[in-house]
């Protein structure tokens, strides 16, 4: 079995609505990672409109996965352990308060820039189910297990990442099994390393026909693991 998770970061409003619509055409659930404050002021994508918890609750009620991507878009590897931990806990507090379906023990925390520290990697799984951070060749992980606390990923940018994503899928399919966790952002022109809406629809249409592929949100994949 081959699992594929497209892990859409940053909560761009227009992109998230469109991604959810495309996934629903194929009976699939998407995976979104959003900031507690919606703020990305330090980033060149800070001006792109973000969704809010009204939208996140609506998408979650439709079965999509909404997971934390930070209180703000901070690079935790540039902060002290105490500062990084404080920002993560503040983020989780906001999710507890504002996202009806949120359970931190089942959650995946998605590090901005996928930058972690050894201290944070050790501490964070005592608070949440797992984290996404750090990189793996072609974004390939083993199939999920009860013991898995770290999900490694890959991505490509700042321009369109479709060719890179296709290459990662090919590498996954060349293996007997595995889990590709690919870090996507927005659609069309939105965000770092975007993919086209038409490309996404074509990709999902192709993959849902395969018996040896499952498109699945990250926390669903982990929480279904029983070994």
User: Which of the stretches 9-17, 58-66, 155-163, 193-201 binds Zn ion when contact is defined by CB under 5 A?
Assistant: 9-17
Looking at the Cβ atoms of 10 and 65, the one nearer to Zn ion is 10
Q: How far apart are CA 116 and CA 106, in angstroms?
A: 20
Count the site residues for Zn ion by CB under 5 A: 3
Pull the structure tokens for residue 91.
């983020």
CB of 205 to Zn ion, least distance (A): 27
Residue 190 touches Zn ion, criterion: CB under 5 A = no
Residue 10 touches Zn ion, criterion: CB under 5 A = yes
CB of 149 to Zn ion, least distance (A): 21
CB of 185 to Zn ion, least distance (A): 7
User: Which of the stretches 10-18, 165-173, 199-207, 218-226 binds Zn ion when contact is defined by CB under 5 A?
Assistant: 10-18
Provide the binding-site residues for Zn ion, judged by CB under 5 A. 9-10, 112
């Amino acid at each position: 079995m081959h699992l594929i998770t497209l892990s859409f970061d940053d909560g761009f409003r227009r992109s998230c609505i469109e991604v959810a619509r495309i996934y629903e055409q194929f009976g699939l659930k998407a995976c979104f990672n959003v900031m507690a404050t919606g703020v990305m002021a330090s980033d060149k994508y800070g001006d792109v409109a973000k969704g809010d918890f009204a939208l996140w609750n609506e998408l979650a009620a439709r079965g999509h996965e909404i997971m934390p991507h930070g209180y703000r878009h901070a690079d935790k590897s540039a902060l002290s352990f105490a500062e990084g931990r404080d920002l993560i806990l503040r983020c989780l507090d906001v999710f507890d308060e504002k996202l009806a379906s949120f359970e931190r023990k089942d959650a995946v925390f998605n590090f901005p820039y996928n930058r972690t520290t050894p201290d944070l990697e050790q501490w964070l799984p005592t608070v949440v189910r797992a984290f996404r951070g750090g990189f793996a060749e072609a974004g390939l992980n083993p199939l999920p297990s009860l013991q898995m606390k770290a999900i490694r990923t890959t991505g490509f940018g700042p321009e369109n990442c479709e060719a890179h994503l296709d290459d990662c899928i090919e590498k996954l399919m060349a293996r007997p099994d595995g889990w590709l966790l690919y870090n996507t952002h927005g659609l069309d022109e939105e965000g770092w390393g975007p993919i086209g809406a038409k490309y996404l629809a074509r990709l999902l249409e192709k993959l849902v026909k395969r018996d040896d592929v499952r498109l699945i949100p990250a926390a669903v994949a982990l929480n279904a693991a029983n070994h």
